[in-house]
Amino acid sequence: MIHSLPVLETFVGFRWLPADYWDLSIPIYLYLAALAGGAYLAGASASMVDSRRSHTDSVATEIARWGFFVSVVSAAGAGLAVVSHLAVIYRALLFPIYLTNFSSWITIGTWILVTLSVIATVSLVLQLFGSSAAADDGASLWPRAIVDTLGILPTVDRLVDRFRPPAAGMTALYLIGSLFALATIYTGFELAIVETVPLWNEMVIVPALFLTSGLAAGIGLTIAITMVFEREIGPLCGGYAVVVAVLSGSSLLIAAYGWTLLAGSGVPALDASYSALTDGLLWVGVWVVTLGLVLALVVGLAVGLAALLGRLPASVERAGGPMLIGSFGLLTVSGLLMRILFLLAAEQHPVVVVV
């Protein structure tokens, strides 16, 4: 069990996960990596939509910048979480030398996360700097003010304009980045390959659940941040809200199917996991996760479809904005909680001792 959460020891009747192997940094890492993927997809798709319009859409530009920003921060957070877990940190810094076993999802995942973080950083810099950004405005441009205080903003703008890829190159960058964003499904495989833990050892359910919930949270968080500053629900935000709703609904269906398998498994280790998840504090956590997915589904569909179709009355829009922000915020929290529950409810196969 996670040693860094001692309060939960009262509510869980078994513990086998040693603190020097699994701790709170692991679910944070697994979650932030997938969150980074979802945020990057939001940013890349919004940027491509904006580039194909005859005039610049300020909302699309804001979604793109906030999406890349959330992706960079999340990827960095995931990296820090996994590095803090390692006993020998320099091995992580020198991962191209030490991580060469490409049959391991740990190695594959490290390369995916590092590559995604690099692409997200490049995408963010191209959005924040250059002549086009200098003539723009928006809350997402706050890093420009920091660079300006250093007195190097004109130089940075000139360098970005000089090395900015053409339109085809930008599209290729976003498409490659999107592939790596989807590849954050590896976070599910890192648990699913553990054969000694039946709760994790589901090669379809766990990766699919981790991917859909992570993408939903990443896109939802990006839209929530954008709406905090834009304070309007246009067709574009409505479309993204619908996407978040669909991903949340998919996560809910996958989780429900996995729950039915868990409840009727007859496997002692799975029965122990099911018992833990239906008792005490973990049961409360299950309901919080469920509530987060359900609210994102219902609110995202109701408000998002109305905004997408241009049938959102002004009176409803005033309430719809906070509803989307609140439901997507809860979705973000529930995504992390879901992964914590996966670790807390884990139980190994029983050990049979022959005397």
The 10s digit of each residue's pLDDT in 178-187 is 999 999 999 9
- The Cα 122–Cα 201 span in angstroms is 36
- Where residue 54 falls (left for φ over 0; alpha for ψ -120 to 50; beta otherwise) is alpha
Q: What is the mean pLDDT of residues 267-295?
A: 92
How much is the pLDDT for 16? 42
Total structural domains in the chain? Answer: 1
Q: Is residue 352 part of a domain?
A: no
Closest of 334, 340, 189, 185 to residue 248, by C-alpha: 334
Res. 215 pLDDT band, cuts 50 70 90: very high
Amino acid letter, residue 80: L
| Per-residue model confidence (pLDDT) at position 50 | 81
Residue with the bigger pLDDT between 174 and 1: it is 174
What is the pTM (predicted TM-score) of this model? 0.89
**Mean pLDDT score across all residues of the chain:** 86
353 falls within a domain: no
Q: Determine the pLDDT at residue 106.
A: 78
In a domain, 234, yes or no: yes
Query: In this model, does residue 14 exceed pLDDT 60?
Result: no
Identify how many contiguous H helices and E strands the chain contains and give both numbers.
15, 0
Q: What is the mean pLDDT of the segment spanning 75-87? A: 79
The two structure tokens encoding residue 275: 């018992």
- For the chain, the 3-state helix, strand and coil shares in percent, each to the nearest 5, are 75, 0, 25
How does residue 289 score in pLDDT terms, banded at 50, 70 and 90? very high
For residue 15, give the nearest of 352, 346, 258 by alpha carbon: 346
Residue 299 lies inside a defined structural domain of this protein: yes
| Percent of all residues in the chain with a pLDDT value above 90, rounded to a whole number | 62
pLDDT at 117: 96
Q: Is the confidence at residue 85, as pLDDT, over 80?
A: no
CATH number (domain holding residue 117): 1.20.1630.10
Task: Quote the CA–CA distance of 4 and 21 in Å, as a whole number.
Answer: 12
Decide if 351 is inside a domain: no
User: Encoding tokens for residue 281?
Assistant: 């504090």
161 φ/ψ angles, rounded to the nearest 5 degrees:
-65, -35
Q: Is residue 48 in a domain?
A: yes
Q: Identify the weakest region by mean pLDDT among 14-28, 32-46, 100-114, 191-205.
A: 14-28
The residue with greater pLDDT, 16 or 102, is 102
State the average pLDDT over residues 94-121: 78
For the stretch 51-73, pLDDT in tens is: 877 666 688 999 999 999 999 99
Angle at 98 between CA 79 and CA 77, to 5 degrees: 0
- Is the pLDDT score of 261 beyond 70? yes
354 within a domain of the structure (yes/no): no
Range of the domain at 335: 6-344
pLDDT of residue 266: 84
| Bigger pLDDT: 145 vs 312 | 145
Q: What is the pLDDT of residues 119-178, one digit of tens each?
A: 999 999 999 999 988 888 888 999 999 999 999 999 999 999 999 999 999 999 999 999
* DSSP code for 6: G
CA distances from 141 to 1, 35, 207, 229 (A): 43, 22, 35, 12
pLDDT at 89: 58
Instruction: Tell me the pLDDT band of 245, cut-offs 50, 70 and 90.
Output: very high
Q: Residue 12 pLDDT > 50, yes or no? A: no
